[in-house]
Amino acid sequence: MIGLPLVYLLAGLMFAAFAGLSALDRENAKRWGNAGFWGLVAISFLFGDRLGDLGNGVLVLALAAIAGSGRLGVGAPQTTSPAERERLAATYGARLFVPALVIPLLVLAGSLTLKRLPFVDPKQATLIALAFAALIAAILAKIMFHQPASAPLQEGRRLMDLVGWAALLPQMLAALGAVFALAGVGKTIGEIAIQLTPVDSRFAAIAAYCVGMAVFTVMMGNAFAAFPVMTGGIALPLVIGHFGGDPAVVCAIGMLSGFCGTLLTPLAANFNLVPAALLQLKDRYAVIRAQAPTAALMLVVNVVLMNALAFHR
């Protein structure tokens, strides 16, 4: 049956190619750091289930050691120059977007059709569709734009070198959330929050929930990780249970409060650090600085809205 192992295999082979190309890049003074880092990532995808908990833990520590020691650098992949890109853009125009637009269309079609096939894991149909869509888009781009076969890997390596260790933050934070859940951190934080929140003040309970969602999201880098902790610790027993708030309104605005925290944290790397890296901004936290006023204002608005809308009954 086709399932996640195939997706992991494709991802592992891709990172292994990045590692090999990095090792061959003599113009990059930090090529061995890049090769080692992406090689370890490849090992995690290819053999992670065989390494066990201890082996994977050591692998993560090795990744942190390479990234923390400053051994990662931007390589010089054999790809098109800025002048060549301008020429290609003028030649192909809007057709350059066709491979990128093919991916979401194929993912949507695959999500609806693959789960009906007996040899495909229905629970992983979307991820499988995404993997195949990326491969098809790469082949289509080669056919349309007459680029070398190595172009997707070289461009992928260039992107990974620009983003660096931040590319792995979503995966690491997901693992951290699982560790927190197993360690009972969420229950402990909920108990502390209840002790510190005045149970006779509805507005204080609302503020504690909304601000707690934002703060815990800043700590975790993910509002979805903060939601079960803060909702189970404050919203359910106090805002909904004690004061009678509408669960739909409370949860919807609570999640939006968590997204305010997403705008403020470098741990949400895909939103806040990756754009700065791709644009090669001098200030890697420029996106966060620009979003901070909006996040603070929206958090205040969320507290007011919850207080006004969640208790109409």
To the question of pTM greater than 0.75 for the whole model, the response is no
What pLDDT was estimated at residue 256? 95
Q: What is the mean pLDDT of residues 77-88?
A: 81
Residue 75 confidence class, pLDDT cut points 50, 70, 90: confident
Contact yes or no for 20/28 (Cβ under 8 A): no
For residue 146, list its beta bridge partners.
none
Answer whether residue 169 is part of any domain: no
- Nearest alpha-carbon partner for 250 in 187, 313, 186, 181: 313
Angle between helices 31-68 and 4-23 (to 10 degrees): 110
Instruction: Please work out, in degrees rounded to the nearest 5, the angle formed at the alpha carbon of residue 311 by the alpha carbons of 306 and 313.
Output: 150
Specify whether 67 is located in the same domain as 105. Answer: yes
Whether residue 157 is predicted with pLDDT greater than 80 in this model: the reply is yes
Tokens of 127: 């991820």
Instruction: Using the structure block, give the residue that is written with the tokens 């790397």.
Output: 269
Backbone angles phi, psi at 284, to 5 degrees: -70, -15
Whether residue 169 is predicted with pLDDT greater than 80 in this model: the reply is no
Q: Which of 163, 195, 217 is the last residue of a domain?
A: 163
What pLDDT was estimated at residue 313? 59
Whether residue 117 is predicted with pLDDT greater than 90 in this model: the reply is no
Answer whether residue 79 is part of any domain: yes
Specify whether 20 is located in the same domain as 143. Answer: yes
CA distance 102 to 139: 11
Residue 181 confidence class, pLDDT cut points 50, 70, 90: low
* Distant-in-sequence, close-in-space partners of 16: CB < 8 Å, separation ≥ 6: 38, 39, 42, 46
Q: Is 111 helix (H, G, I), strand (E, B) or coil?
A: helix
CA distance 96 to 135: 16
Mean pLDDT, the chain, rounded, equals 87
**Domain span at residue 270?**
184-309
Residue 177 confidence class, pLDDT cut points 50, 70, 90: low
What pLDDT was estimated at residue 290? 93
Range from 77-91, 104-118, 173-187, 247-261 carrying the lowest mean pLDDT: 173-187
Specify whether 231 is located in the same domain as 114. Answer: no
Whether residue 194 is predicted with pLDDT greater than 80 in this model: the reply is no
- Which of residues 68 and 18 earns the better pLDDT score? 18
Answer whether residue 59 is part of any domain: yes
Residue 303 confidence class, pLDDT cut points 50, 70, 90: very high
Specify whether 107 is located in the same domain as 136. Answer: yes
Listed in sequence order, the DSSP H helices in 69-196 are 82-92, 98-113, 125-145, 151-163, 169-183, 185-196
Whether residue 186 is predicted with pLDDT greater than 70 in this model: the reply is no
* Distant-in-sequence, close-in-space partners of 252: CB < 8 Å, separation ≥ 6: none
Answer whether residue 170 is part of any domain: no
Tokens of 203: 């507005």
CA distance 34 to 41: 11
Dump pLDDT digits (tens) for 29-42.
888 999 999 999 99
Q: Residue 209 to residues 153, 178, 190, 204, 231: CA-CA distances in angstroms? A: 45, 22, 10, 9, 7
Whether residue 272 is predicted with pLDDT greater than 80 in this model: the reply is yes
Torsion, Cα 11 13 16 22, to 10 degrees, reads -90
Specify whether 51 is located in the same domain as 129. Answer: yes
Answer whether residue 20 is part of any domain: yes
Backbone angles phi, psi at 120, to 5 degrees: -120, 135
Whether residue 108 is predicted with pLDDT greater than 70 in this model: the reply is yes
Domain count, the chain: 2
- Which of residues 244 and 75 earns the better pLDDT score? 244
Residue 170 confidence class, pLDDT cut points 50, 70, 90: confident
